[in-house]
Structure formats: structure tokens, C-alpha cells
Amino acid sequence: MKHLFTFLLLTISLSGFSQNQSEMNIAAYESLQKVDDELNKVYQDILKEYKHDTLFIKNLRTAQKLWLQFRDAELKMKYPAYAGNHYGSIQPVCSASYLEALTQERVDTLKIWLQGIEEGDACTGSVKTK
């Protein structure tokens, strides 16, 4: 009886964590969407915070457009579009995970403009000081 209980408990707990490929794809893209939403919020917050610095805003917009091109080119470099299904069914998860990592890196970079840099740093550029 003890072994049957252990088997049932193990079976139930393992089945609770299993996902099919479609569910894994959805989870990966939902995770990417959360980071993308964060990027958009940080970007909008920077636009508000620095609205009076028109040259900075112009340059930020240019940089962000170029970053989006860079991000897309990075994905194509990592996963070239070979003929056929070269990467298998896990491809959507891998692509979403890579885009998520690149996007999180961009979020971290842009947050500096909202957080500011300690006064005394000679290379703050357009970043506000704390």
C-alpha cells in the first residue's frame, strides 16, 4: 500500500508539470511579452522624464529603431532560415528565449537613464545624476 501511494503521488506530481510543445511555445512567448512590455514601459518613462531634451529624445528614438534592427539581425544570425525545419519543434521556444534575453539586456541598459548615475562620474553623458 505504501508503494502504491508513493507511485500515485509521483505520477500526479509529474503529470502536473508536463507540457506539450504548444504549451511550451505559449509559455516562452508569454515570458518574452512580459519583458517586451517592460521595455516599452521603460522607453515611455524615459520619453516622459527627458521630454525637454529634444536632441536626446531624437537620438533615443534613432537608437531604439536601430536596436530593434540589431535584435532581429541577431536572431537571424543565431537561427538562420535554412530550408526545411532545421531546428525542430523546439525552435519557437529557443527563438523566444533568445529574444527575451536580448530584450532584458536592453531594458537593463535603458533603465540607467531612469535610475541616474552617481554624481561625480565624469562620463554621465545624457544620463541624469542622482
The span from the CA of 71 to the CA of 76, in Å, is 9
The pLDDT value recorded for residue 18 is 62
Between 56 and 86, the more confident residue is 56
Q: What is the pLDDT of residues 88-122, one digit of tens each?
A: 889 999 999 999 999 999 999 999 999 999 998 89
Whole-number average pLDDT of the chain? 88
Mean pLDDT of 25-39: 96
Query: Over the Cα atoms of the chain, what is R_g?
Result: 22
Angle of helix 21-49 relative to helix 91-115, nearest 10 degrees, comes to 20
Q: Is pTM beyond 0.75 here?
A: yes
Classified by CATH at the fold level, domain 20-115 comes out as Substrate Binding Domain Of Dnak; Chain:A; Domain 2 (1.20.1270)
Per the CB < 8 A criterion, the answer to whether 107 and 38 are in contact is: yes
The pLDDT value recorded for residue 12 is 46
- Domain layout of the chain by residue ranges: 20-115
The pLDDT value recorded for residue 79 is 93
**pLDDT band at residue 8 using 50, 70 and 90 as cut-offs:** very low
